[in-house]
């Protein structure tokens, strides 16, 4: 293909019919992510075009062609190869983060999370299918895979579930009642608890109330940060303060729990 070296190749392998919307979303999502990647590198003028290059029973292959000056052996050509390879490695890492419990792409926007979900939607809803994205370099007529990642149905469902979790966290964070307040533990617990439920821990936030109240983790990242402090040095958690964003859960107009959405900083408290 003219100007087709290097390029990003997406292969969608599904053995049964899929909805047109899922089919289209799988391919346009990678193009949207490439556009973000390009802009993050300051390449405002560099875009990419998506071509469906092959359709056969059980699979569809598309090629995302970066619109760069591609001259084999030139500095510009080598830069394009590196860009395609870097993109695939970065994108695989960002999607792959959601395969780990509590994993997040920490700076992901709402629109990017939507694309993450749509990227794997077709695979998640069709057992036995998979999606592969690869950076391809063609040199002297030879096709070489520079970087690649692949997800199957089970992995795609994990990604979808954790991306949805991340989106809910953003909803809670955007509706914070209080930002950057000091929270101090009066009772800790090393065990993890489901998001949105009381953790068995008690904390005080003097700006709101001197009474110890139940702690609820509204964010996986916030829980991981706090639990790290508790488990690494459990005796010192009471000597530390946590600068957090939170919502106040009320009952009958009175505060009964704090739902923590974000941890900004952990500080040492002054000794009495």
Distance in angstroms between the alpha carbons of the first and the last residue of the chain = 73
Cα dist from 74 to 65, 79, 145, 251, whole Å? 18, 9, 20, 68
**36: enclosing H helix or E strand:** helix 20-40
Most distant pair of Cα atoms in the chain: their distance: 74
Provide DSSP, 248-268: EEEETTEEEEEEEEEEEEEEE
Question: In the prediction, which pLDDT does 236 show?
Answer: 82
- Interatomic CA distance for residues 246 and 171, integer angstroms: 12
Give residue for tokens 């068995």: 200
Q: pLDDT, tens digit, for every residue of 121-153?
A: 989 988 999 999 999 988 887 888 999 999 999
Question: In the prediction, which pLDDT does 21 show?
Answer: 80
List Cβ neighbours of 161 (8 Å cut-off, separation of 6 or more). Answer: none
Question: Which residues are bridge partners to 52 per DSSP?
Answer: 62
Cα dist from 19 to 23, 28, 56, 233, whole Å? 6, 15, 16, 52
Query: How many Cβ atoms sit within 10 Å of the Cβ of residue 87?
Result: 24
pTM, whole model, 2 decimals?
Answer: 0.62
Question: In the prediction, which pLDDT does 94 show?
Answer: 95
Residue 263 has phi, psi (to 5 degrees) of -115, 120
- Give the residues of the chain that fall short of pLDDT 50: 1-4, 45, 68-78
């Amino acid at each position: 293909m003219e100007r087709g070296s290097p390029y990003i190749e997406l292969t969608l392998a599904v053995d049964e019919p899929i909805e047109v919307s899922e089919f289209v979303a799988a391919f346009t999502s990678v193009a949207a992510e490439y556009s973000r990647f390009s802009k993050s590198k300051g390449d405002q003028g560099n875009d990419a075009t998506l071509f469906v290059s092959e359709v056969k029973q059980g699979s569809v292959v598309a090629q995302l062609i970066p619109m760069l000056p591609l001259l084999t052996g030139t500095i510009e050509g080598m830069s394009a190869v590196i860009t395609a390879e870097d993109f695939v490695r970065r994108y695989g890492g960002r999607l792959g983060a959601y395969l780990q419990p509590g994993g997040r792409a920490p700076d992901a926007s709402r629109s990017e999370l939507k694309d993450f979900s749509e990227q794997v939607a077709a695979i998640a809803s069709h057992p036995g299918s998979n999606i592969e994205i690869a950076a391809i370099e063609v040199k002297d007529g030879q096709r070489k895979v520079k970087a690649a990642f692949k997800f199957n149905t089970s992995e795609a469902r994990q990604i979808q579930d954790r991306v949805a979790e991340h989106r809910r966290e953003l909803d809670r964070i955007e509706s914070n009642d209080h930002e950057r307040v000091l929270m101090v533990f009066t009772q800790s617990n090393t065990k993890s608890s489901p998001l949105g439920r009381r953790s068995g821990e008690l904390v005080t936030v003097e700006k709101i109330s001197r009474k110890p109240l139940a702690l609820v983790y509204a964010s996986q990242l916030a829980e991981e940060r706090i639990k790290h402090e508790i488990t690494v040095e459990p005796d010192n958690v009471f000597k530390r303060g946590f600068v957090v964003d939170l919502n106040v859960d009320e009952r009958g107009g009175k505060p009964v729990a704090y739902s923590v959405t974000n941890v900004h900083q952990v500080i040492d408290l002054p000794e009495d």
